[in-house]
Amino acid sequence: MDLQISIELLQKLSLSMFRKSFFGIFHGSISAKIASNKFIINKKNAIFDDLKKEDFVLLYDKKDYRWNDASIDSDIHLHIYQTIFEAKYAVFAMPPHTVSYSLNHDYIIPKDYFGYKKFEKIKIYDPKNFDDWYERAPYEICKYLQEQKKNFIIIRGYGVVAYHRTLQNLAKDIALLDNSCKILQYEKIYN
pLDDT in tens, 1-37: 688 888 988 998 888 898 888 988 768 999 999 999 9
Output the DSSP codes for 84-128: -TT--EEEEE--HHHHHHHTT-SEE---SHHHHHHHS-EEEE---
The pLDDT tens digits for 32-53 are 999 999 999 999 988 888 899 9
* pLDDT of res. 41: 97
The CA distance from 191 to 21, in Å, is 26
Domains of the chain: 3-190 (3.40.225.10)
Q: What is the pTM of this model?
A: 0.92
